[in-house]
Every structure is written in structure tokens, then in C-alpha cells.
Structure 1
């Protein structure tokens, strides 16, 4: 009898067509989840209610009597619809990511599964945290700061499509910035860079964080600091997490002779 160690994935190979069928099924389930979330949100609070919620940080800082405007004929219908679809995708994101996980999991070793599942969960949570931080803290501070410098002779009447584009850009920027710990952990776990090197590059990352914040955010100190400082703190968190992940997701020793 051979003493060679048995491969965990032996016998799990599936034909190419079977993979395509499973991928199709996973995509359909993800789309159904988004569709259900869209239907629920369309009923309550509704597209108009969602837009009012999204616009609240700006509207609350506009001068008394000022309102937002629509310069395009179909904007009052199309923009709330886009926001509802965006919100539906965010609500259904855990289901979507689970379908991705379920599709790739059979091709992973057990020690790799210990790495991927926590990363999927943590990356989702961090993205939501970034969006929430942007909405509840950054928007209010930024809009208040901008209005303080607005000339009295200017009547503020932001366009709803322009506002949607601004909001999406900021959400993506802060959501992606909050993924710094995940990126650090993945790079360290794949052996691209060591934890010691990450500590040595701390100063360089601080400079990079402030440069990124200056490029992505509006030209005001508040939003730039609100993006750069969390990135630096999350980089430190990523270094700590990388050491733990490397320790607990190593492949088991090969005891075969």
C-alpha cells in the first residue's frame, strides 16, 4: 500500500460544462436576491423615499428655502430608480458573495477555506462600514463646510443627477478605502510582502493615503482627513490581522514519506 498523502481535492474535478451550469445557477440566484430586494425597496420606502434619505445630508445644509433641481426631463424618474437598484444590490450583497463563495469553495483546500470565508465576510462588513461612515459623518461635515464658504449672492440648487454621481463616487471611495485591511492580509498571506516589510513601509503608506484622499475627495480639508486617517488606522489593523491569518491558515505539514 502506498504511503503517499492523499490530495484533499482528489475526485472533485468536474467537467467544464458542469462548472458552467453551476455558475449559471449561482448567477441566477444572485440576480433573484437582488430582484427581491429591489421589489421590497420599491414598495417601501419607495424610490422617492430612498432618494430623500440619500439627499438628507445635503438638504439639511442648504440655505432655508433652497431645493434640489432636475435639469433632465426624465431625471425625477430615472435617478430614484437607479438609487433603488443600488440599494437593492447592497442589501443583497451578502447573498451575492455567498454564491461566489459556494462556487469556488469546492476547489479549495481546507486551510484555504479558513482564509477565504473570513475575508468574504470581513470585506463585506468593511465596505458597509465605509459607506456608513461616509453617509453619517463625512457628508454632513463636508456640506456644512462648503456652505460656510458659499457667497451670499449664490442660490444653491444642486442637480439631482450630479448629486447622485458625487454620492456614488464617495461611497465607492470610502468603501474601497475601508478594504485596506483585507488587501494587506491577502498580500501578506500570498507571500507577496512580509509583515515586517509592511511595518517598515508604514511611513510610505501614510503619504500614499493622503495623496489618494486629496485626489479622490472634494478639495476640502474635512473630507480629505476623513478618508486619509481611517486608511492609516485600517492599515495598522491589517498588519495585526495579517499575522493572525498567516498563523491560522497555514497548510498542514506534509507527513508523508
Structure 2
């Protein structure tokens, strides 16, 4: 028996086996999404009220949310239900992701499945909550400030849904940075020394990424880039704590 196998790493499997495993995981995810979607669509009015809650109180007088196309309300409800289903299914999706990559891990690494699912889900929900409760109120207030005098804000409900869900998903995924870095560090691809050495370029990339993803106002961009910089520094600590031992030598080199 090989040393790798003794440590819990399974022998190399053919590509068809990996594809079959991926298909099985995707089918399970789809089944769960369909079940959750059915419930969410049944109660879609609750989620519609929730998703529009940050902007409705800020709408100026004589302004409103509008349906600009005949079918806009129906398709907006379907899209919202699907996105909410994905949101609530994220813990199960993370679990299936872990089970897919688990055969390539050591036995001692596989025991972290509960921690991985919990932390991935927690960080995703924290990112989404930060967007909803912190970024939206300030961002919407800024943009609706232009609706004054003879200018009214009649916002397309479909456009609004696309806008807010894009930001919610973006913040949720951005908050996954420490988990992503953890995997790269465990694989030896990324180290804390490398992240410290290229910190200035990472900061520059974060600012550009925030400018592209958020509305074109400085405050909202800071609201995204600030947490991303914090998460980057947290990821450096994660890489240092969980990276491969060879990183100790690299710290000496880059010190």
C-alpha cells in the first residue's frame, strides 16, 4: 500500500469517473433547488417585499416602482424566486462542492467538512447581509438624491431586482476570500509571503474591482473595497496558519 493511500488520498481516477461524480453532485443540487424554488415561489410576495424594503422608504414623493413591460412582473417573480432558492441552498451547494473535491484530500483534511460548510455559508451570508443592511441604504439615498424638482424616479422592478441581486451575490462571494485562500494555501499554490509581497497590487486590483462592480460613487466603492482589504489581510493570516511548512522559508526570503 502506498504512503499516499495510507494517509487517505485515493488513487488517481479516470476522467469519466470524475465527470460522473460531478454529474451526480449537480443533479442533487438541482433537485434541492427545485424543491426550495417551489416553496419560495409560493411565498414570493414575502421576498418581493423584503428585497424592495431598502428602497421604498427612500423614494421621493410621486416616485414609484414600475412595470415597464407587460410580462415584467411575471418574469421578475420567477427570477427572484430562483435567486432566493440559490441563496438559501448555498450551504448544501458548499457541501456538494466539498464532497466533490474530498477524494483528492488527505484523511485528516476530510474531517473539516463541517467547518468548511459552516464557514463558507457564514461568510456568504455575512457578505450578503452587509450589502443589504449597510451598502443599499447609503447607495440608494445617494442616487435618489437626483430625483428632485421636476425629476421623478420611476424605477423598473426588473432592473432593480437585477441590480440588487448582482450586488448581494457579489458581496457574498467576495466574503468567501479567506476560504478560497485556505484551499490555495493547503495546495501550496499561494502563501502568506506571496500575498504580503504583492499586497500593493492586490489593493489596486481590489479598488478597480470595486469600481467596476458598484455604482459610480466613491462612498459605495469604499463600502466594498474596505471589507475586501480587511478580508485580504485576514486571508494572509489564514494562509500563514494553514499553508504548507515550506512557507517558513519563503517568509525568510521575502522578509
- What TM-score do you get using the length of structure 2 for normalisation? 0.82
SS in structure 1 opposite 2:58?
A: coil
Which of structures 1 and 2 has the bigger CA Rg?
Answer: 1
CA distance in 1, matches of 2:86, 2:209: 26
Give 1:212 shift. Answer: 1.4
The partner residue of 1:59 within 42, 56, 61 is 56
CA distance in 1, matches of 2:18, 2:218: 50
Distance 1:225 1:13, change over 3 A: closer
Partner residue of 2:29?
Answer: 30
Structure 2 unaligned segments of length 5 or more: list them.
248-255
Number of residue-to-residue matches in the alignment: 245
Native 8 Å contact 2:190 2:239 kept in 1: no
Does residue 176 in structure 1 map to residue 189 in structure 2? no
Native 8 Å contact 1:115 1:245 kept in 2: no
Distance 1:246 1:183, change over 3 A: same
Q: Which has the higher contact order (CA 8 A, sep 6+)?
A: 1
Does residue 189 in structure 1 map to residue 186 in structure 2? yes
CA distance in 1, matches of 2:190, 2:41: 46
SS in structure 1 opposite 2:154?
A: coil
CA distance in 2, matches of 1:238, 1:42: 37
Partner residue of 2:157?
Answer: 160
Partner residue of 2:5?
Answer: 7
Segment drifting more, 7-16 vs 224-233: 7-16
CA-atom RMSD in angstroms: 2.9
SS in structure 1 opposite 2:125?
A: helix
CA distance in 2, matches of 1:221, 1:33: 39
Structure 1 unaligned segments of length 5 or more: list them.
251-257
Segment drifting more, 96-105 vs 64-73: 96-105
